[in-house]
Amino acid sequence: MRFPPATSGAVRKVKNPEYQVSGTNAFEITDNDLAVRTIDTAMGVVLQKAAPKAHVVKALNSVWYRTMADPEAFGTPITIPIAGNNAASKENVTKLLNQIGFEAVDVGPIEYSEQIEGMLIVWMNARLNGHAFNYYFRPEDD
């Protein structure tokens, strides 16, 4: 399996942890100032295939660094989409997110990390082309 250069070392280091958080995106910026994917699938899927005994959870890859540094600055808890195949690992990641000031919404299995990673591409392309915005998931009130 071929990995993007920036991630190949990290993938080799993943042995069999209880769970692995995938906060990466494989993309590059083109000469036309567009963010494009550099692999045909999601890094969450790549990591899960590279470490099949690990419980990979996709999280934190679509959050702007300023939001990550101070989630309360935006006046409301920020909801982070997560994806993974193991319920206990997703619960652990949810607890971690809560501890650092975020909420989590489980969007499904690790294969759904491709859609989460696509959110960054949309956000990045708008920002690169002068149309910056932020988005925050909020759970519906029952």
- Read off the pLDDT of residues 87-125 as tens digits, 9 standing for 90 and up: 999 999 999 999 988 899 999 999 999 999 998 899 889
Task: Decide which of 121 and 77 is more confident.
Answer: 121
pLDDT at 1: 39
Task: Decide which of 48 and 62 is more confident.
Answer: 48
- Tell me the pLDDT band of 18, cut-offs 50, 70 and 90: low
CATH top class, domain 18-128: alpha beta
Predicted confidence (pLDDT) at residue 32 exceeds the cutoff of 80: yes
Q: Delimit the domains of the chain by residue range.
A: 18-128
The pTM of the full predicted model, rounded to 2 decimals, is 0.80
Phi-psi region of 56 (alpha: psi -120 to 50; beta: other; left: phi over 0): beta
pLDDT at 139: 66
Residues 55/47, Cβ–Cβ less than 8 Å: no
pLDDT at 92: 92
Among the listed residues 51, 38, 40, 36, the one whose alpha carbon sits nearest the alpha carbon of residue 4: 38
Predicted confidence (pLDDT) at residue 48 exceeds the cutoff of 60: yes
> How many residues are there in the chain?
142
Mapped onto helix, strand or coil, the DSSP state of residue 105 is strand
pLDDT at 142: 61
